Each structure stands twice: as C-alpha cells, then as structure tokens.
Amino acid sequence: MLKSTTNTLYPCPFSKGYGIKAQQAWTLLKVFLVYRLILASLFIGMLYDRSGSSLIEAGSNQLYIYSSECYLFLTVVSIIGVFWRLIPYTTQSQLLIFSDIVLLTLLMHALGGIKSGVGILLAVSIASGGLLIGGLCAMLFAALASLSVLTEQLVTSQLQQANSVSYTYSSMLGATFFTIAFLSYVLAKRSEEAQQLANQQQQTIIKLEDLNQYII
C-alpha cells in the first residue's frame, strides 16, 4: 500500500521515497485537468468544423467520435472528483495519464497516424506524468507511450502501404518521450535529495535547541 500523509503524497509505487506536497500536487492536477478540458473541447469541436472533420481518416469517423467523447467524459468526471476529493490523488493521477496515452493514440490513428502530429501531445502527457507522479513511473509512462505509438504504426502499415519515414518519426517520438521522462526523473531525484537534506538539517537544529535548553 502506498504511503500517504496529510502533507505529503507518494504517488509512484516504484519510487516510494519520492513525495509531493499535497497542496502542490492537487494544484498541478487541477492545471492538468484544465489543459485536458481545453484539448477535449477542441477534439469535439473538430467534428462540427468542416476543415477539422476533413482531417479524420475515412472509415475512422466512429473511432474518432467515441475516443473524443470518452476523453471529454473522463475529464469532466475527473474535474468533479478533484473538487469533491471523491477519488484519491494517486489513483486519479495515474488513471489520467494512462487514459491520455490510450485515447490520444486512438485519436492519432483516427486522424491519419503519426503524420497527423497528434503524437506530440503524448509528450505533454509524459511531462505531466513526471510532474504529477514522478519517480520511475515517468519512465514507465514513456515506455507505454512509445509502445502505443509503434503499435499504432504497425496497425497502420497493415491497413495501408508501409512507410519507412513514419517508422523513423515513431522512433524519434519514442526517444523524445524517454528524454522527457529521464529529465523529469533526474529533477525529481534532485528535489527528493534536497528535501531529505532539509529534513535532516531541521532535525539537527531541533536536537541542538534541545541540547541548549538542557545545558541552560
């Protein structure tokens, strides 16, 4: 079971020493949900815009509709959950990042695959995962996103003529995911070490004050 205190949250089960201040964590989650709400609204808006609907691949209209509606629905439910604190932070943040990876990959496929440019939005999801959850979980999200993009490319190549350039883009996108995740992990590790050092110094000061009172 994950550690949890009133002031600090430990959202990554693979980096139990990495904690985030509760107030900061919930604030970051709210910001991420605002971003998701705007993005979901844009996806839905494309259905009613002639130039936007023309970008949807033939035969993928239903996939796009279901994926965009599901994305909006999960975002709205999560917003309600955040403001009423109905779902624990750890569960909610992990589900949001996982759903981002799955649904954005489906939307990317519906819009024509890697060439649509939607895949770059997954980089935002990976960076958000590093901020919201941190630790080794950021690397896990990068791996899942990379596998999702490569799987989508394999499916596309089976349905259409294979394109080596698209595989190159997919590989570059995967490398970008891991770079972002690694930087997030390094920054989180430094933040964790700085916090531990600050706690040790605070404990030392308290002990010195107690010793001073004892001497007096």
What pLDDT digit, counting tens, does each position of 170-193 carry? 777 878 888 888 887 777 677 667
Is residue 32 in a domain? yes
* pTM of the predicted model as reported, rounded to 2 decimal places: 0.82
Which structural domain, as residue segments, surrounds residue 80?
Answer: 18-215
* Sign of the dihedral defined by the CA atoms of residues 151, 153, 154, 156, in that order: positive
Is residue 63 in a domain? yes
Question: What is the pLDDT of the chain when averaged over all its residues?
Answer: 84
Is residue 167 in a domain? yes
> What contacts 58, CB < 8 A, 6 or more positions away?
none
Is residue 24 in a domain? yes
In three-state form (DSSP H/G/I as H, E/B as E, the rest C), the secondary structure along 151-208 is HHHHHHHHHCCCCHHHHHHHHHHHHHHHHHHHHHHHHHHHHHHHHHHHHHHHHHHHHH
Is residue 57 in a domain? yes
Is residue 7 in a domain? no
The token pair at 54 is 């023309």
pLDDT for the residue 166: 65
pLDDT for the residue 136: 86
Does residue 133 contact residue 12 with C-beta atoms inside 8 Å? yes
Is residue 5 in a domain? no
Three-class secondary structure of residue 10 per DSSP = coil
Which comes out higher in pLDDT, residue 115 or 133? 133
Does residue 56 contact residue 68 with C-beta atoms inside 8 Å? no
d(CA 112, CA 70): 19
Give per-residue pLDDT as tens, 41-53: 999 998 888 776 6
Number of domains in the chain: 1
Is residue 3 in a domain? no
